[in-house]
Structure 1
């Protein structure tokens, strides 16, 4: 049986959860995730997790934060003056917003604290600092070279 290797394009059904069992993403009810192994399209731990799998195989992988979205970076948590928010917006903890860096690039932030005069925003990826668990099922391997080459 062909095994997944770097450079293969694969289709994988997955269920992603945190260590407390909370689901953060799943392909259930959707098409499987398709990506090229080793191309940087998915987090490093996911690439490594599918490598060596065969079509139809199922397994659970544990990805430490360092191989997922990295640690929480304190410099990505910032205070923003409350009076700079639009007048019709009432900031609330958990609210997701998009900010601009002044050079035309937008990035998502989450409000983590609201004080009298400032709002504390977190621009870290929502899964930064978290270990991830994925239940995987390899659906298809395409691309790459066959193991046996016919003359």
Structure 2
């Protein structure tokens, strides 16, 4: 009996030691609390409840997943994480600068005949079309005639005449046909000096300051600083300066060394 008690105590001691000594390993599901701050000590974010993650799954930045390995339940560790293991360094190619006053093309020459792949054509017009057929271009306001078609490509002829007007694909204005010369069509937007226009690729409107045969001069109208992620997951940070607009598609924390104070709440 005495020997059985001793053995039981030894097993209990060994089991307790295993539990107490368990550490975070790849594949573990853990709960953590954390604060994150910049190098100057400014607190950027803190958890208000434990965050659950699976180590090595990519749910958190690499510096955290590597830094918590070997930690025990209840342990707190200070991790200094460089940009390379956080949100990356700043990629200059993701920063666009636009002059506050900009020139954009005004009068433009486009071909009467346009070719595209059969796949792209069918995405717009559907299947089962033939040469000679006239089709309405969705959203544009004019028709095209199929002049050539094979299993790979389709060529269409724009059914436009001088004076015709159709919707621009660049902004909230119409394009007017000024002339047709053989295989080319000359078009120009219908806005005038003083008009406020919306260029589709921008999140602000612009005012037309001047027009020549070749270019229109516009002033981009300032908006407050904006920061958001679009439907494609692309970060946007927009800032209007005195003479230019900066559009930054880097992660807001790109280039930052981050300091995490992490506590392991539970190892699942």
Same fold per superposition (TM over 0.5): yes
Q: Deviations over 1:50-106 (max 9, x none)?
A: 1100000011111111111110000110135766333498423x422455xxxx625
**2:227 — aligned with what?**
96
Scaled by the length of structure 1, what TM-score is found? 0.78
Displaced runs of 4 or more, over 4 A: 80-83
Change (3 A) 1:50 1:66: same
Distance in 2 of aligned mates of 1:60 and 1:127: 19
Contact persistence 1:91–1:114 (CA under 8 A): no
Q: 1:73 to 1:113 in 2, by over 3 A?
A: farther
The alignment status of 1:39 with 2:50, answered yes or no, reads: no
- Asked if the contact 1:57–1:138 (Cα under 8 Å) also holds between the matched residues in 2, the reply is yes
Partner of 2:267: 141
TM-score norm. by structure 2 comes to 0.46
Q: Per chain length, whose mean CA-contact separation is higher, i.e. which structure has more relative contact order (CA < 8 Å, sep 6+)?
A: 1
Secondary structure of the structure 2 residue equivalent to 1:47: helix
CA shift in 2, pair 1:60/1:97, >3 Å: closer
Corresponding residue for residue 8 of structure 1: 28
Contact 1:69–1:128 (8 Å) recurs in 2: yes
1:105 counterpart SS class: coil
Q: Partners of 2:45 and 2:228 in 1: how far apart?
A: 20
Deviation, structure 1 residue 119:
1.8
Q: 1:124 aligns with which of 241, 250, 256?
A: 250
Instruction: Give the structure with the higher percent strand.
Output: 2
Matches of 1:106 and 1:79, distance apart in 2: 21
